[in-house]
Amino acid sequence: MPTQFGDDTVLETSKTKTRPPPLYKVLLLNDDFTPMDFVVQILQTFFFMDREKATRVMLQVHTQGRGVCGVYTKDVAATKVEQVLQFARSHQHPLQCVMEEN
| Within a domain: 84 | yes
Q: Is residue 40 part of a domain?
A: yes
Q: Based on the number of CB atoms within 10 Å of its own CB, is 20 exposed (0-12), middle (13-18) or buried (19 or more)?
A: exposed
| pLDDT tens digits along 67-83 | 999 999 999 999 999 99
Find the domain containing 93 and state its range: 32-101
Whether 15 is in a domain gets the answer: no
Q: What is the pTM of this model?
A: 0.82
| Cα 69 from Cα 65, distance rounded (Å) | 13
Q: For residue 51, what are the contacts with CB-CB under 8 A and spacing of at least 6? A: 40, 44
Q: How many domains does the chain have?
A: 1
CATH number at residue 75: 3.30.1390.10
pLDDT tens digits, 43-57 = 999 999 999 999 999
